[in-house]
């Protein structure tokens, strides 16, 4: 039976959940008082001021929640505290102390102390029964909103109907599917376990659920709904209880844990040792790749991205004609495409003929459109008809004037437009030919994140444009780079596409990705009608991330903003570390050496290793110097330039201008702190007498540092760094 949880001891937690079910969910009472708190009236206050809050608040979930609850009734505040108790009940990765403190904090917003001796607040009840993972904490506000929506739907029902709904676990699970975000919320799994512990597992991670099912039932390769997973897990349990002759089994406890966790470990290990190139060329690859390359500056992250781009280039001849046309016409406006279609037809045409032309159809498909083409064509034709036309009754006309209507509702291109738009006529003819053998199509986009980069740049945003239907300047939703590449990938399921995000940690990832952070998970990707889709906030159109889109990012570990990397992003990406590798430095002889004017060698590999050994000791491995800085160095002059233009400025930033430590990296001082011969960073000590001409007791001795010039740097200035 699934209520067995090994050493976690779930008995008292399940008893508390059963008490909540009867006292609150069915009878509308309270956990910590004799009041009637669990009803639609007080829940509506929480929905209004918390879930639908218009306040833009800073801080963590609890800080925001306290501010949002400021104006609700005392009863609503206490209901929120009891809802938090329920939200926390299963999670074992939140400490008992934190749970108790946060529940008490909300309760006492109503100016009433919470009795800490309440049996429902004791350690055995609040200890939790399974890890909810970092995602549960990161998206706690969404979990709370999901709980609110579940309660809103349940508490609106009469008690008898509520009791009937709670009498059948799988019927209740099916009913839950109507709740927004049900498929992506961990509390959904917690709730099912608390209400129906004999049939539903304490597996709160969707990823674990999927891995377990695939380990025990490899035939389940298709994506399963949450309820289908529940049924599969129950079926596996029944089979294993019979096989093991034991009903005290749990998927996180041996022997069951050894079966699926061992498989998961071996899968990860195999993936870890497989070069990226091989992963991308495997024909059987199913899941999209979310990968971040990270490491210190100069370790080849950008080089690796450029190498990966080659995997996402197609020969134009390998594409279908429709795909190739879509690529050619993607950036063309509708009036350009319609003009080229009419130019290709060569005779007067009706709107239906234009709509059936391959240029128009390919343009529409590239934009993910399949309907309302006639209205777009009508509006475009009329908008770009000259003012003197007597056959078109349309007030808002704008240049370029390309079309006119003649008797019988036929449309033509204007003779003068044929001359003025000669490049479009030429392109129309060119598109009738097959692509050249050497022509290629790039199936990727490249973008760099920065502090000002936003969701509106990445996904979609409101931007000004000249509306072809009205002829006026209007503001409408425009696709960002991520949505555009998703549309291309969705329209071409036979090929893989990619987006490369440089400096992914420099942007505010949570704001840039927004709700899409969930959609990029491999199990949420779309394939045909399957997968998760959301409604975009500006265009109000459904949107999903196709499974044939790979997402790559780079992160520079020397950038201190890496500590702010969104936790949710960490969970959804694989990470590949690229560290300094001196063996990749060729030098001028292929063995990592360059030579001074006297023909004596300087070993670049030993040089880099020696500097990094000291930087790692003085600072961090994340701030070491990358091999790329020396990969192009072929002579002593270039080596001096690398020190003056790259190494010294970098170390100056790393050490916050603590020049003495930079001297230690370069071995410019000895054990007594005295300068050695030919230092890269020199220094002199200045006294008040040196500066003012007399001794002044108020001023201490000052050390002034100086960087050697290119003429002053000798081969021995460099060799001493690594030679004993």
Q: Domain boundaries in the chain?
A: 6-204, 320-434, 441-577, 583-719
Inter-residue contact 385 to 403 (CB < 8 Å): yes
Is the pLDDT assigned to residue 473 strictly greater than 70? no
Predicted local distance difference test score (pLDDT) of residue 135: 62
Q: Tell me the pLDDT tens digit for each residue of 443-453.
A: 899 999 988 89
Which phi and psi (to 5°) does residue 223 adopt? -70, 135
- Tell me the mean pLDDT in the region 209-225: 78
Asked if residue 312 has pLDDT above 80, the reply is: yes
Checking if the pLDDT of 482 tops 90, the result is yes
Distance of CA 440 to the CA centre of its chain: 29
Query: Residues of the chain with pLDDT > 90: what percent?
Result: 36
In contact, 148 and 43? CB cutoff 8 Å: yes
Domain formed by 441-577, architecture = 3-Layer(aba) Sandwich (3.40)
pLDDT at 320 (0 to 100): 64
pLDDT at 630 over 90: yes
Q: CB burial class (10 A; 0-12, 13-18, 19+) of residue 197?
A: buried
What is the mean pLDDT of the segment spanning 379-394?
86
Neighbours of 680 (CB within 10 A): 24
- Going by pLDDT thresholds of 50, 70 and 90, the confidence category of residue 472 is low
Tell whether the model's pLDDT for residue 370 goes beyond 60.
Answer: no
Alpha helices per DSSP H over 559-642: 567-572, 604-618, 628-631, 636-642
Q: Select from 79, 88, 98, 71 the least CA-distant residue to 129.
A: 88
Whether residue 84 contacts residue 103, with contact meaning beta carbons closer than 8 Å, is answered with yes
Taking residues 626-655, report their average pLDDT: 93
With cut-offs at 50, 70 and 90, classify the pLDDT of residue 499.
very high
Instruction: Look at residues 64, 72, 101, 65 and name the one whose alpha carbon lies nearest to residue 85.
Output: 101
Alpha-carbon distance 573 to 522, whole Å? 10
Which of 142, 145, 163 shows the shortest CA–CA distance to 154? 163
Return the ∠ at Cα 531 (arms to 142 and 455), rounded to 5°.
55
* pLDDT tens column, 318-360: 556 776 777 778 778 888 889 988 988 888 888 888 888 888 8
pLDDT of the residue at 275: 44
Q: How far apart are CA 495 and CA 285, in angstroms?
A: 12
| pLDDT score of 540 | 85
Residues 6+ apart with CB under 8 A from 307: none
Task: Answer yes or no: is pLDDT of 467 > 90.
Answer: no
Q: What is the pLDDT of residue 662?
A: 94
The residues that bridge with 614 in the sheet, in sequence order, are none
Mean pLDDT of 387-416: 85
Q: What is the pTM of this model?
A: 0.50
Please tell me the distance from the alpha carbon of residue 626 to that of residue 581, in angstroms, as a whole number: 7
Contact between residue 587 and residue 596 where contact means Cβ atoms under 8 Å apart:
no
Q: Which residue has the higher pLDDT, 36 or 1?
A: 36
DSSP string, 236-250: HHHHHHHHHT-S---
Across 267-276, 298-307, 628-637, 707-716, least confident range: 267-276
- Between CA 555 and CA 561 the distance in angstroms is 10
Average of per-residue pLDDT across 602-616: 94
Residue-averaged pLDDT of the chain: 84
**129 in helix, strand or coil?**
coil
Residues 351-375, mean pLDDT to the nearest whole number: 77
* d(C-alpha 380, C-alpha 571), whole Å: 46
Q: Decide if pLDDT at 570 tops 70.
A: yes
Q: What is the pLDDT of residue 263?
A: 52
State the Cα–Cα distance between residues 9 and 114, nearest whole angstrom: 26
Mean pLDDT value of segment 658-671? 93
User: Among candidates 664, 682, 679, which has minimal Cα distance to 718?
Assistant: 679
Question: Which three-class secondary structure state does DSSP give residue 621?
Answer: helix
Q: What is the pLDDT of residue 401?
A: 87
The one-character DSSP state at 349 is: B
What is residue 474's predicted lDDT score, i.e. its pLDDT? 62
* Residue whose pair of structure tokens reads 């001796």 in the numeric block: 117
pLDDT score of 567 more than 90: no
Instruction: Give the pLDDT confidence of 69-128 residue by residue, as tens digits.
Output: 999 999 999 999 999 999 999 988 888 888 999 999 999 999 999 988 899 999 999 989
- pLDDT reading at 372 higher than 80: no
The confidence score (pLDDT) of residue 171 equals 92
What does the pLDDT average to over 527-553?
A: 89
Q: How confident is the model at residue 664 (pLDDT cuts 50, 70, 90)?
A: very high
How deeply is 152 buried, as exposed, middle or buried, from its count of CB atoms within 10 A (0-12, 13-18, 19+)?
middle
Closest CA to 142 of 94, 183, 96: 183
Handedness of CA 585, 591, 592, 595 (dihedral sign): negative
- Which of 585, 580, 637 shows the shortest CA–CA distance to 612? 580
Query: How many H-runs (helices) and E-runs (strands) does the chain carry?
Result: 35, 17
The answer, yes or no, to whether residue 278 has pLDDT greater than 50, is no
* Phi, then psi, of 525 in degrees rounded to 5: -65, 150
DSSP state of 48: I
Q: 10 Å Cβ neighbour count for 565?
A: 16
Q: Residue 133: what pLDDT?
A: 63
The yes-or-no verdict on residue 563 having pLDDT over 90 is no
Residue whose tokens read 């290629």: 440
């Amino acid at each position: 039976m699934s209520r067995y949880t090994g050493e976690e001891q779930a008995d008292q937690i399940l008893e508390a959940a059963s008490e909540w079910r009867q006292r609150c969910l069915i009878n509308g009472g309270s956990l910590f008082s004799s009041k009637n708190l669990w009803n639609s009236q007080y829940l509506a206050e929480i929905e209004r001021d918390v879930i639908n809050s218009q306040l833009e608040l800073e801080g963590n979930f609890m800080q925001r929640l306290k501010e949002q609850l400021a104006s609700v009734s005392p009863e609503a505040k206490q209901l929120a505290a009891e809802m938090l108790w329920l939200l926390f009940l299963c999670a074992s990765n939140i400490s008992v102390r934190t749970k108790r403190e946060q529940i008490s904090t909300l309760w006492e917003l109503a100016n009433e102390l919470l009795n800490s001796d309440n049996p429902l607040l004791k350690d055995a009840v609040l200890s939790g029964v399974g890890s909810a993972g970092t995602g549960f904490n990161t998206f706690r506000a969404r979990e709370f909103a999901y709980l609110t929506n579940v309660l809103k739907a349940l508490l609106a029902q009469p008690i008898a109907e509520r009791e009937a709904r709670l009498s059948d676990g799988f019927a209740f699970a099916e009913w839950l599917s109507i709740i927004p975000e049900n498929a992506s919320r961990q509390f959904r799994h917690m709730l099912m376990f608390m209400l129906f512990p004999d049939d539903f597992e304490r597996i709160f991670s969707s990823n674990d659920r999927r891995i377990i099912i695939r380990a025990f039932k490899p035939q389940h390769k298709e994506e399963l709904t949450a309820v289908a997973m529940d049924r599969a897990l129950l079926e596996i349990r029944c089979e294993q209880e019979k096989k093991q002759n034991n009903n005290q089994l749990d998927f996180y406890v041996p022997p069951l844990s050894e079966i699926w966790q061992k498989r998961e470990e071996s899968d990860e290990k195999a993936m870890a040792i497989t070069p990226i190139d091989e992963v991308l060329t495997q024909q059987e690859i199913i899941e999209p790749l979310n990968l971040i390359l990270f490491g210190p500056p100069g370790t080849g992250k950008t080089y690796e991205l450029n190498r990966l781009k080659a995997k996402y280039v197609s020969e134009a001849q390998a594409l279908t004609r429709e795909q190739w046309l879509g690529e050619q016409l993607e950036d063309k406006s509708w009036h350009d495409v319609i003009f080229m279609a009419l130019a290709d037809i060569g005779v007067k045409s009706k709107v239906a003929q234009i709509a059936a032309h391959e240029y128009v159809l390919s343009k529409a498909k590239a934009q993910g459109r399949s309907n309302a083409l006639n209205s777009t064509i009508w509006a475009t034709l009329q908008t770009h008809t000259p003012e003197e036309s007597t056959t078109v009754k349309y007030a808002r006309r704008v240049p370029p004037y390309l079309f006119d209507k003649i008797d019988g509702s036929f449309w033509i291109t204007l003779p003068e437009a044929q001359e003025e738009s000669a490049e479009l006529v030429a392109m129309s003819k060119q598109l009738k030919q097959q692509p050249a053998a050497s022509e290629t199509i790039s199936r990727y986009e490249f973008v760099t994140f920065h502090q000002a980069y936003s969701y509106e740049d990445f996904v979609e945003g409101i931007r000004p444009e000249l509306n072809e239907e009205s002829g006026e300047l209007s503001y409408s939703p425009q696709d960002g780079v991520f949505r555009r590449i998703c549309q291309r990938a969705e329209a071409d399921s036979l090929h893989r596409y990619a987006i490369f995000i440089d400096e992914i940690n420099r942007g505010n990832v949570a704001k840039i990705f927004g709700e899409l952070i969930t959609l990029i998970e491999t199990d949420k990707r779309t394939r045909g009608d399957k997968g998760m889709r959301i409604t975009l906030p500006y265009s109000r159109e459904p949107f999903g991330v196709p499974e044939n889109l790979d997402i790559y990012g780079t992160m520079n570990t020397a950038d201190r903003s890496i500590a702010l990397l969104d936790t949710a992003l960490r969970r959804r990406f694989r990470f590949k570390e690229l560290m300094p590798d001196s063996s990749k430095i060729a030098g001028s002889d292929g063995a990592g050496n360059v030579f001074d004017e006297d023909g004596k060698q300087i070993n670049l590999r030993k040089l880099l290793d020696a500097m990094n050994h000291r930087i790692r000791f003085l600072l961090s491995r994340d701030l070491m110097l990358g091999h790329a800085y020396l990969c192009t160095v072929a002579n002593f002059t270039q080596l001096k330039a690398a020190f003056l233009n790259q190494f010294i400025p970098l170390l100056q930033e790393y050490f916050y201008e603590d020049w003495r430590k930079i001297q230690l990296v370069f071995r410019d001082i000895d054990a007594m702190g005295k300068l050695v011969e030919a230092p890269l960073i020199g220094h002199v000590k200045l006294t008040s007498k040196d500066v003012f001409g007399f001794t002044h007791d108020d001023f201490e001795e000052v050390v002034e540092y100086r960087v050697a010039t290119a003429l002053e740097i000798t081969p021995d200035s460099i060799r001493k760094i690594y030679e004993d």
